[in-house]
Each structure stands twice: as structure tokens, then as C-alpha cells.
């Protein structure tokens, strides 16, 4: 699963360079990069709420602000997992990234199907 996540993250310019010298756990531990990922997919708007700092307090605040976004896409971000993410527990960030990737893929497919259906209906009207 690690290779799948790394290859997917490399499609986002903000992560490609970071992945050369950092682990997934290091990149996502304070929550800030989850916010950037959500923001780049129009799921989280106010990046000013998040801080790219490694203190426990700032990391907890970041996850507090992001929790609604996780829930909005059907991912329950529990307190124990937040602590695991902050402490860089192996594969924890990867697990959440996989869930986010699946959500984005599913919704892209659904969006494309809706557009195709609308296009087909327009052709039938002509």
C-alpha cells in the first residue's frame, strides 16, 4: 500500500519534493499537510486556521479544525488515531491517506458518470 500512496501523493506538486527526504509519517504528523490535501481538492477552505508547526498543541489544533472535513467524507478521526498520527506511528497516516484517496476516486467517478449522463440526455434532445 505504501507505493500506491507515495505514487498518488507525487501527483500533487506540494508533496513530490517532500517525499524525497521525509517519510509519510513525518510529512503528515501535524495535520497541516492533510489540510493542504483537502484544500487542493476543495474540501477544506480556510488554510489560515492551520499552522505548519510541530508542537503538540498546534498539531492538536490542526486536527481539531480538520475533524469536520474528515467526517464530511465519511472518515471518523478518533482521538487515539490523532495521537498516533502526531507521534508518527508507522502506517497510521498511510491508512488515512488511503481512505482519502478512495473517497476522491469514488467521487470523481460519480461526477464523471453524472456528466456523461447529462451529455447523453442532451444528445437525445437534439
For the entire predicted model, the pTM comes to 0.84
Number of domains the chain is built from: 1
Render pLDDT for 38-87 as a digit per residue (tens, 0 to 9). Answer: 999 999 999 999 999 999 999 999 999 999 999 999 999 999 999 999 99
Q: What is the DSSP string of 44-79?
A: ---GGG------HHHHHHHHHHHHHHHHHTT----H
The CA–CA distances, whole Å, from 86 to 22, 36, 61 equal 15, 17, 11
- Examine the pLDDT at 126 and tell me if it is beyond 80: no
**Domain span holding position 57:** 2-125
**Residue 47 contacts residue 39 (beta carbons within 8 Å):** yes
- The secondary structure of residue 36, as a DSSP letter, is H
**Which range scores top for mean pLDDT: 1-5, 40-44, 91-95, 117-121?**
91-95
Write the CATH number for 30: 1.10.418
Give dist(CA 62, CA 47) in Å, integer: 10
Amino acid at each position: 500500500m505504501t507505493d500506491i500512496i507515495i505514487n498518488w501523493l507525487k501527483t500533487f506538486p506540494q508533496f513530490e519534493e517532500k517525499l524525497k527526504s521525509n517519510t509519510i509519517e513525518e510529512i503528515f504528523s501535524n495535520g497541516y499537510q492533510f489540510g493542504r490535501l483537502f484544500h487542493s481538492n476543495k474540501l477544506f477552505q480556510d488554510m489560515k486556521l492551520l499552522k505548519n508547526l510541530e508542537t503538540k498543541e498546534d498539531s492538536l489544533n490542526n486536527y481539531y479544525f480538520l475533524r469536520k472535513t474528515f467526517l464530511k467524507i465519511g472518515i471518523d478521526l478518533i482521538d487515539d488515531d490523532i495521537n498516533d498520527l502526531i507521534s508518527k506511528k508507522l502506517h497510521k497516516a498511510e491508512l488515512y491517506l488511503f481512505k482519502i484517496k478512495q473517497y476522491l476516486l469514488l467521487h470523481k467517478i460519480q461526477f464523471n458518470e453524472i456528466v456523461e449522463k447529462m451529455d447523453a440526455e442532451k444528445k437525445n434532445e437534439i
